[in-house]
Chains A and B, each alone.
Chain A
Amino acid sequence: MATLQTTDGDTGLGKSKWDRVQEMDEFRLLILAKKEFVVPTTVFFIVYYFALPVLVGYAPGFMSRKVFGAVNIAYLFALSQFFVAWGIAFMYVRVARKFDMYGAHILETLKREGYDENQNGKRGL
């Protein structure tokens, strides 16, 4: 690759690869798509999880109610946490395929424009 590595991440094309990606539409879309999934999902799992200690702690009578046989609400709610966590993980894996596609597309565009992906800045690491 005939690019000149001057300073930190500057490829000699006038603009660093970081700035170039920052201004790409795909990059904005990627960040937006991630936020749209990660923020509400994180809020949901935190609320759902803390509902368990709060209910167990402050409404033990309700939680001790038997549902079938000796099995009570408290145990079923605790068990449901495992399946909810797995469910969220699988949903995330599905949604993240889209993130990977955006990412691959961004790197491709960058390469086409003559930036060298493997040139790292000198600082930081």
Chain B
Amino acid sequence: MHLDMTLVLFLSFIAITLGITAWASRRSGSSASFFAANRSITAWQNGVAVAGDYMSAASFLGIAGLIAFFGYDGFLYSVGWLVAYLTVLLVVAEPLRNAGKYTMADVLAYRLNPRPVRAMASISTLTVSTFYMIAQMIGAGSLVALLLKGSHISFTVAVSGVGILMIVYVVFGGMLATTWVQIIKAVLLIAGTVLLSILVLAHFHFSFPEFFQAISQVTYHAPDGKVIVKDFMTPGLRFKLPYGPLELISLGMALILGTAGLPHILVRFYTVPDAKTARYSVVWAMIIIGSFYIMTTFLGFGAATIVGRDFIAKNGGTNMSAPLLAKVIAGDVFFAFISAIAFATILAVVAGLTISASTSFAHDFWTNVLHNGVERKPGEERTVARIAAFVVGAVSIGIAILLGPTANVAFLVALAFAVAASANLPVIVLSIYWKRFNTAGAVCGLLFGLLGSIILILIGPSIMGMDAATVVGAARHPIQHAPIFPLENPGILSIPIGFAGALLGTFLGARDPNAVQRFEELEVRANTGLGSEKATAH
């Protein structure tokens, strides 16, 4: 029964969003409209859309699951995800809005030699977006596989469906449609989370002491059948010595510095009319994102106390904690509602990633690197972006199907954050704030950060490890050797490597009087909005 209900709810979301896409496609007459929604999005709309872009499957399904299984340590993820927005607010959002046009690379190209810088930035953007996207698509596929167990809809069909829909949103609706898909999804996600939280509290007779009392005595069974009672408020259930504390700090660094380097978040600030609106939209996003992550207390600990680890482990594993909580607490209809929201979440995030990746390819690589910044015929950039969206979508569908439903999704998202923090953030910050910074510095920074983070992940415990012979399939480490780098998250080392690369390149490269002169222009522009891209009437 819940199957039909989920399908009906999910199909209505698709119908509504396709309607929006049709509406947006009639208004997407110009490049500013296709890439930046005419810069006409208001502060609260963009705030909700940023929140929508950010609260992905990793948050709704992943964090709830981590808290359900590891208690307090899972909640630590929630904290970093919000605090990261202070970096966006204080350091990046406004200068970026004032100095750029469509992509993150615009800011770098403003004062540096545009071609090498845009080429590297485009590679980095595509890398971050693709890893992030594959993770989301695998999430969608596994969700479908678990929900529709025994039905004729397989993992492959589910992944392909999500991929095709997102291509349709982006190719026909551009940034305007993607923004509204994001807004609707964020509202649904918050509504579902609030409802679920109230139901959890109701279960404990709206008594916080009773709720926290239950959290302090979570009962489950060890693999050998022994009964375990644990205080889930206690830290250390997941991050254990010797490397646990370093792992936590490394994760924190990747989050705090990575968010301000995520291309699909940064492009959102080009959709608003000016820097002031960009600022207010970050604050709106922080209110929504913060409220959501505080409520993961109820989702996660609720699942731990009401549903229990044993039941979740037997019915789809950590990622199914929130949907299972809905099922146990309020029955099949609510379960269908929450599952449909999870689909919508994934679909919207994937659309946001696709548009930022394809915009970067079209604007940075095609127009500015290959064709010297000139569109050979009007609308060429848009056409290239549409084709790129199609290719990016097809490639992600292919890789996601290849990796299969059991691939380690969390590690792909962590890789995206780590690459963003190590490659993108150093060069963005240094080009906005450091006068001496030059082209060699930017290229080295991007290269070192990109390679550093990827290599450290490849030689870390996500990829390398010794498994017992009983471990088979996707759970086995691809390289059967003790890990060379002990941490899953490379941030603590790869972020300094990114900064070091940028400094090294700058000092080894020649002094660039032009970059210094253009820095002074950039400083004026970033701080006053003089000459920034204006909103267009539509």
Contacts and interface: CB of A to CB of B under 8 A. Distances in A.
B29 interface: no
A119 to B, nearest CB: 8
Interface residues of B, number: 63
Contacts of B251: 53
A85 B231 contact: no
Nearest to B534: A118
B75 A78 contact: yes
A124 B364 CA distance: 11
Interface stretch (B158-166, B281-289, B330-338): B281-289
B301 to A, nearest CB: 10
Contact of A75 (B72, B83, B520): B72
A112 B100 CA distance: 26
Contacts of A41: 90
A34 B527 contact: yes
B231 A70 contact: yes
Interface stretch (B14-22, B106-114, B170-178, B184-192): B106-114
A13 interface: no
A103 interface: yes
Given A34-B527, A42-B87, 7 more contacts: A17-B530, A21-B528, A27-B524, A27-B527, A41-B90, A60-B235, A72-B234
A117 B530 contact: yes
Interface stretch (B50-58, B208-216, B398-406): B208-216
A57 B239 contact: yes
Contact of B75 (A17, A42, A75): A75
Contacts of A64: 231, 233-235
Contacts of B534: 118
B524 A81 contact: no
B85 interface: yes
Contact of A92 (B89, B215, B245, B293): B89
Nearest to A90: B283
Contact of A58 (B101, B245, B276, B530): B245
B90 A56 contact: no
A96 interface: yes
A5 interface: no
A15 B283 CA distance: 38
Contact of A78 (B76, B110, B256, B283): B76
B209 A56 contact: no
Interface in B78-95: 78-80, 82-83, 85-87, 89-91
A70 B230 CA distance: 12
B248 A53 contact: yes
Given A60-B236, A74-B72, A85 B82 contact: yes
A86 B528 contact: no
A86 B87 CA distance: 13
Contacts of B82: 81-82, 85
B295 to A, nearest CB: 11
B91 A54 contact: no
B27 to A, nearest CB: 24
B286 A89 contact: yes
B437 to A, nearest CB: 15
Interface string A84-110: 011011101100100110010011001
A34 B246 CA distance: 33
A82 B295 CA distance: 12
B290 interface: yes
Q: Give the size range of A's interface with the partner.
A: 35 or more
B213 A69 contact: yes
B252 A56 contact: no
Interface string B401-422: 0000000000000000000000
Contact of B523 (A31, A53, A88, A89): A31
B86 A89 contact: yes
B65 interface: no
A22 B524 contact: yes
Interface string A24-48: 0001001100100010011001100
Given A46-B256, A69-B209, A89 B79 contact: no
B91 A38 contact: yes
Contacts of B233: 64, 70-72, 74-75
B249 to A, nearest CB: 5
A45 B83 contact: yes
A67 to B, nearest CB: 11
A27 B283 contact: no
Most buried by A among B100, B248, B251: B248
A82 B523 contact: no
A90 B75 CA distance: 24
Contact of B86 (A53, A57, A75, A85): A85
24 contacts: A9-B521, A22-B520, A34-B527, A49-B80, A53-B76, A54-B249, A56-B235, A58-B245, A60-B235, A60-B236, A64-B234, A69-B208, A71-B212, A72-B233, A74-B235, A82-B293, A89-B283, A89-B286, A92-B279, A103-B528, A107-B529, A124-B109, A124-B518, A125-B100
Nearest to A75: B233
A27 B527 CA distance: 9
B294 interface: yes
Nearest to A19: B520
B531 interface: yes
A38 to B, nearest CB: 5
Contact of B279 (A21, A81, A93, A120): A93
Given A56-B235, A85-B86, A89-B282, A70 B213 contact: yes
A82 B283 CA distance: 13
A34 to B, nearest CB: 7
Contacts of B231: 64, 70
B530 A57 contact: no
B485 interface: no
B244 interface: yes
Given A21-B530, A74-B72, A57 B244 contact: yes
A125 B249 contact: no
